[in-house]
Amino acid sequence: MDWNHQTAEELVAALRAGEVTSVDLTDEAIARIERDDTAINAICVRDFDRARIAARAADDARARGEDRPLLGIPVTVKESYDIAGLPTTWGMPTHRDHLPADDAVQVSRLKAAGAVVLGKTNVPLGLQDLQTFNEIHGTTNNPWDQGRTPGGSSGGSAAALASGFGALSIGSDIAGSLRTPAHFCGVYAHKPTLGLAATRGMVPPPGPALPEALDLAVVGPMARSARDLTLLLDVMAGPDPLTLGVAYDVTLPPARHERLRDFRVLILDEHPLLPTGAAVRAGVNRVADVLVDAGARVERHSPLLPDLAEAAFLYTQLLFSSTVARFPVEAFEQLRSRAARLSADDRSLDAARLRGMVLSHRDWIETNRLRELHRHGWRQFFAEFDAVVCPVTPTPAFPHDHQPDLMQRRIDIDGAEYPYFDQLVWAGLATMPGLPATAVPAGLSSDGLPVGVQLVGPMLEDRTPLRLAELLEETMGGFQAPKG
């Protein structure tokens, strides 16, 4: 049997039943990578020797009667996570030789759960792109169309999963970096509630790996099934043992419902600041039709929905204020001069990005206050609804675009061009207030490209969008392997 496209849940069952060994699974995964990854370039750092040792240890542990959640399951890890003895570069040439001494907290949790780490997956420079390429490791291609991007910044992980290179992967998300690659590659990903999963060791080189409470940024699971997301989130969730973990454990509330017919869902397929392409609208509406047919309460409008335009501006300013925090003084002063020349009535997202880069601490505090008002609005919204179904980005995967000035790039939406970073408005819907969001496949476009949607749920009720994802997978079908 070809095990490489099986779910982690199926592999765990086969291992428990004695139908296969971890050594078998690991050898098959390595053989698949060695055969196919030259064309995809998803696995940028291979760790096959240690993987085989870990697989033998997993089989020995199982023979002794041990049974951990991921015991013997081959997985990959985004390059940006520290793994002792392997380079962590974030795609930055100046740090190509950086070797951390310790595992990131999430890598430690994977290993404690019994996972077999095959290697690390490719990322864009500094994790700051919706594509995946860098000078050190080159370009990662979309397994569905190698002329297109797999997304970013967890693009290597999504491409690996779609290609059968390991059953699970872990990534990170501040601007859709879990959700966009899942959408572009036809796999699953979950952006947890802000702060739910510890991030220590997912840090730009040279570190140090401190237990910081990051704004906007999260780490989370990627998989080929919704149930696997839940399996991996249970391994990842919990505070850092150096900080809140001293006093607190995590117990997530159960999903609000167990049947599709009981869910109350708001469908969004248009954003006030950016059109949605026909292929993505069709995917959103396929999910809406399934929900309606199942008897769920489905709405298209609600006065309780927080203002999406204001939310996008707040998100843009918060996001870009963090991107320049370590810029050289000269570069920062140039940005401040450019921002000062903006017209007071320029309300474009481009202007919001520039203003965000030079946000004063006083202005950041006011922006954060407005974010808290949005969070309160979402609490009121989720008293009446259980989830929002909406796009991840306005288009399926787009062709590689390596224009070095990201501000000069454009995204094509049904023949019309828009600023490249405008497509982040959908990622920001969940990221700005810190809500959980699950990216799920929703079929293929007329061009044969995967289309996904995101299911946004209430804060710290991550099991609700995850359960909705499971039910949709059961009804619609889920992951499809790329042809060829």
Q: Give the C-alpha separation, 89 to 97, whole Å.
A: 8
Residue 143 sits at φ, ψ, to 5 deg, of -60, -20
Amino acid identity at 33? I
DSSP secondary structure string for all residues of 171-225: EEESSSTTHHHHHHHT-EEEEPPTTSB--TT---TT--------SS-EEEEEESS
CA-based end-to-end distance of the chain? 19
- Name the catalytic one among 78, 108, 120, 225: 78
Q: Are the C-beta atoms of residues 371 and 354 closer than 8 Å to each other?
A: no
Catalytic site residue from 80, 153, 163, 172: 153
The span from the CA of 11 to the CA of 75, in Å, is 12
- Largest separation between any pair of C-alpha atoms in the chain: 70
Query: Pick the catalytic residue: 22, 163, 177, 321?
Result: 177
Q: Which residues contact 343 (CB under 8 A, 6 or more apart)?
A: none
Give the Cα separation of 338 and 319 in Å (integer): 18
Q: Is 78 a residue of the active site? A: yes
**In angstroms, rounded to a whole number, what is the distance separating the alpha carbons of residues 412 and 275?**
11
Tokens read off for 374: 């949005």
Angle at 17 between CA 15 and CA 18, to 5 degrees: 65
Which of left, alpha, beta for 395 (phi over 0: left; psi -120 to 50: alpha)? beta
Q: Is 347 helix (H, G, I), strand (E, B) or coil?
A: coil
Pairing outcome for strands 437-444 and 416-419: unpaired
Q: 373: which residues sit within 8 A by CB, 6+ positions away?
A: none
Tokens 């006083």 -> residue: 362
Give which of 244, 193, 191 is closest to 222, Cα–Cα. 191
Which residues are CB-contacts of 300 (< 8 A; sequence separation ≥ 6)? 266, 267
Does the active-site annotation cover 177? yes
Q: Say if CB 209 and CB 203 are below 8 A apart.
A: yes
Question: 454 φ, ψ to 5°?
Answer: -115, 145
Active site residues: 78, 153, 177
